[in-house]
């Protein structure tokens, strides 16, 4: 049975607004991939259809696009898995990117953020100082295996709601690659790398887990948490983001509950008069609504068990 590719069409060189073309596929079965169907449409029906592709094996990351509202690799997506009830498949460019031609997008913002990380090893000595290659233990290498599987397809970047709100945010892939070098025992620039990714708005991450939808199962979210921890370990705590994380951990460890008043003061800065004045109207509205939390919280029963969890995990907190 036939099915239809509902394709986003746009050429920045000639078009002012995008339009859509519906291309009917009659010669390929549903068992092929979306990329196969696009290749057929371009070769046999309309040669102007434009998309990126290379390996056809989920290795190069080139064919990432939006398929029925979900971003993924076209070469890894079976037609049968995404056919809608009307036997159509909507093909669109990745969100959070500017379309260039059809589903080809400008990747410069994504690559610029990656390049800022200096994504290569920077050891403290020269290669010539070693008679053999620098050895890494299996335990140390195991930490890097997952992120090393990243093919830079930008799926996580396209799905990230923080990037859509603030394009200055580094994005999940860049942060994951920061983790890859921060945790590499051969590298000598741990603090510099942590400072760089922190400057690229690391702490804007809202931990929504959108980036967990990764076609290569890298799951950058856990690496983002690890990078945030690394910035704190390196003493990079003079920003609202790390201060907020530390004061939340501190109040939960002390009382077993979140102490909102303490969190606001600790995040803004206890001696940041200008910052505290900015949040004062919010505090007044809370007071008028009768929602001001008590100044002092009594620890919950069995708070020692909560403190044991912190101690066991060695979670950093404000002293």
What's the rounded Cα separation, in Å, for the pair 206 and 187? 29
User: Which of 40-43's residues contact partners 24+ apart within 8 Å by CB, and which partners?
Assistant: 41/5, 41/7
- Whole-number pLDDT of residue 319: 58
Structure pTM?
0.88
- According to CATH, the topology of domain 3-105 is Ubiquitin-like (UB roll) (3.10.20)
Residues of the chain with pLDDT below 70 are 315-319
Contact call for residues 42 and 93 (beta carbons, < 8 A): no
What is 245-278 written as a DSSP string?
A: HHHHHHHHHHHSS--HHHHHHHHH-TT-HHHHHH
Q: Which two tokens stand for residue 63?
A: 């064919």
The architecture (CATH level 2) of 108-233 comes to Orthogonal Bundle (1.10)
Q: Which two tokens stand for residue 91?
A: 């093909």
- Whole-number pLDDT of residue 270: 83
Neighbours of 137 (CB within 10 A): 8
Q: Which residue has the tokens 């990078």?
A: 227
CA-angle at 94, arms to 90 and 95, nearest 5° = 105
- Whole-number pLDDT of residue 154: 97
Q: Where in the chain is the domain with CATH 3.10.20.30?
A: 3-105
Q: Where in the chain is the domain with CATH 1.10.1060.10?
A: 108-233
What's the rounded Cα separation, in Å, for the pair 182 and 102? 37
Q: pLDDT by residue (tens digit) across 102-138?
A: 999 999 999 999 999 999 999 999 888 888 888 899 9
Q: pLDDT by residue (tens digit) across 286-309?
A: 888 988 878 788 899 999 999 999
- Which residues lie below 8 Å from residue 137, measured CB to CB, with a gap of 6+? none
Helix runs in the chain, H state only: 34-40, 79-82, 108-115, 138-142, 145-148, 155-159, 161-165, 172-182, 190-199, 220-233, 240-255, 260-268, 273-288, 303-313
Q: Which two tokens stand for residue 78?
A: 């079976």
Q: Which two tokens stand for residue 225?
A: 């948490």
- Whole-number pLDDT of residue 195: 96
């Amino acid at each position: 049975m036939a099915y239809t590719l509902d394709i986003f069409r746009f050429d920045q060189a000639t078009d002012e607004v995008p339009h859509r073309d519906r291309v009917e596929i009659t010669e390929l079965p549903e068992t092929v991939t979306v990329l196969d169907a696009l290749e057929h449409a371009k070769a046999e029906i309309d040669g102007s259809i434009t998309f990126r592709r290379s390996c056809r094996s989920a290795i190069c990351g080139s064919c990432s696009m939006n398929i029925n509202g979900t971003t993924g690799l076209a070469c890894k997506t079976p037609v049968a898995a995404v056919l809608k009830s009307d036997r159509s498949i909507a093909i669109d460019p990745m969100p959070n990117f500017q379309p260039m031609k059809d589903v080809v997008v400008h990747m410069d913002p994504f690559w610029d953020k990656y390049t800022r990380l200096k994504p290569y090893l920077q050891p403290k000595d020269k290669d010539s100082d070693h008679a053999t290659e620098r050895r890494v233990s299996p335990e140390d290498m195991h930490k890097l295996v997952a992120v090393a599987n990243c093919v830079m397809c930008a799926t996580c970047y396209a799905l990230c709601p923080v990037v859509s709100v603030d394009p200055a945010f580094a994005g999940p892939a860049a942060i994951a690659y920061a983790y890859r070098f921060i945790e590499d025992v051969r590298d000598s620039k741990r603090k510099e790398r942590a400072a760089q990714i922190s400057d690229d708005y690391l702490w804007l991450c809202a931990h929504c887990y959108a980036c967990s939808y990764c076609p290569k199962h890298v799951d950058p979210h856990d690496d983002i948490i690890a990078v945030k921890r690394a910035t704190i370990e390196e003493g990079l705590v003079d920003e609202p983001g790390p201060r907020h994380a530390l004061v939340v951990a501190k109040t939960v460890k002390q009382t077993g509950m979140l102490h909102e008043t303490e969190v606001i003061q600790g995040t803004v800065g206890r001696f940041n008069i200008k910052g505290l004045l900015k949040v004062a109207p919010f505090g007044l509205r809370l007071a008028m609504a009768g929602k001001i939390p008590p100044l002092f919280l009594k620890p919950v029963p069995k708070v020692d068990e909560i403190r044991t969890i912190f101690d066991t995990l060695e979670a950093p907190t404000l002293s």
